[in-house]
Amino acid sequence: MPHLLILGPQYRTPNLREALERAGLEGPPVAVTAGWQEREGELGPLEAHLGQKVRDLRLYERAEGAFVQDPELHAQYRQRQNELRALQEIYRGRLAHAKAAARELLEREGDSEILRRTRRAAIGALRRLDAEQLRSIARVHERFESRWSPAHHPVLTRQHEELRHLIEVAGYVCIAGGHVAVLLNRLRLFDLRSLLRGKAVIAWSAGAMALAERVILFHDHPPQGAGNAEVFEAGLGLIKNAVFLPQARTRLALEDRRRVALLARRFAPATCHTLDDGSVLHWQRGRLRQAAATSRLLRSGATEPLEAGA
């Protein structure tokens, strides 16, 4: 992939145009706004910011049309979603116990060899649970896609070819945020992963999360629930060894070194990147060329501003 730009949220202080100019990218642009669901295609603010027309790929609308054309496809899609929800419910119960044990050990005073060893074991248990969940999610998708994918279904094949043409003639592809599950499901349904190879891609918020190998849901101060970061989905994997954390300043207790340390250690060797207003991460041919207004979480519990080449 020649250019991959990951940005922070765009609704308050958009920096998309500036990031494109610095990267030397020009249109015409196409966009994926499926995460906005019924608001898909409402591109007025984006077009005003960019100063040019943007064509929406209409993945949400295309999926709804495919479901109407083939009720069995829709039924199988809903069955897959039910399986994923059941998996997530069981995982959350197990995660609560494993996370509580790891957090309790990290909060204990002292640094004896026994305590260090048991802390490593507790974090290892969390990592194994996360890996198991990711494998289970992948198996559910593999079963669905073995029959219901553009390679095997004529309705999806036609849509896939239309999307291929629209992406080929575009200068770059923007992937907006919104509902991450809805967005990721539509990206996967039309096999956007294969269509984005070799294309400049700019993504923000949930769009950035969807491009990583794992989608992590997180909130240290939720209105309800325990606030346990959880593996939610398998992402498209267009960028390796990265976990993206949009709105980290408001959703994470970054001043709590124990929480930060646990998050960083749990998802290592992937780097946890904060994405807030003004954040930019620019990879070109797999190498980080630019980083601004973003930090990485460290195993020590600190956060460190990220620089290109780090």
> Using CA atoms, how far apart are residues 42 and 59, in angstroms rounded to an integer?
13
Q: Which residue, 235, 296, 284, is CA-closest to 260? A: 296
pLDDT confidence of residue 128:
97
**Residue 90 located in a structural domain:** yes
Has residue 31 been placed in a domain?
yes
The verdict on residue 310 lying in a domain is: no
Residue 271 has pLDDT above 60, yes or no: yes
pLDDT-based confidence at residue 226 (cuts at 50, 70, 90): low
What six digits make up the tokens of 275?
């994405």
pLDDT at 220: 87
Alpha helices in the chain (DSSP H): 16-23, 44-50, 59-69, 71-107, 113-145, 154-168, 180-189, 192-195, 206-211, 248-251, 257-267
* 22 located within any domain: yes
Q: How many CB atoms lie within 10 A of CB 159?
A: 22
The answer to whether residue 76 is domain-embedded is yes
pLDDT higher than threshold 90 for residue 223: no
Token digits for 82?
């039910």
pLDDT of res. 2: 85
Q: Please provide the average confidence, as pLDDT, over all residues in the chain.
A: 94
Query: Whole-prediction pTM value?
Result: 0.94
**Residue 224: predicted pLDDT:** 65
Q: From the CA atom positions of the chain, what is the Rg in Å?
A: 20
Which pLDDT score is estimated for 245? 97
10, pLDDT greater than 80: yes
CB 189 within 8 A of CB 64: no
User: Which two structure tokens, joined as six digits, stand for 117?
Assistant: 């060893």
What CA–CA distance (Å, rounded) separates 172 from 193? 14
Rounded to whole angstroms, the Cα distance separating 70 from 242 reads: 37
Instruction: Please give the residue range of the domain that contains residue 211.
Output: 4-305
| DSSP string for 174-227 | EE--S-HHHHHHHHHHTTHHHHTTTS-EEEETHHHHHHSSEEEE--SS-SSS--
Residue closest to 203 by CA, chosen among 1, 2, 5, 70: 5
In a domain, 127, yes or no: yes
In a domain? residue 136: yes
**Residue 155, number of CB atoms within 10 A of its CB:** 17
How would you classify the pairing of strands 4-7 and 280-284?
Answer: antiparallel
- Residues 94-122: pLDDT tens digits? 999 999 999 999 888 888 999 999 999 99
Residue 158 falls inside a structural domain: yes
Residue 238: its pLDDT value, please? 94
Instruction: Count the domains in the chain.
Output: 1
* Beta-bridge partner residues of 5: 202, 282
* Helices 59-69, 154-168: inter-axial angle, 10-degree rounding: 160
Q: What percent of the chain has pLDDT over 90?
A: 90
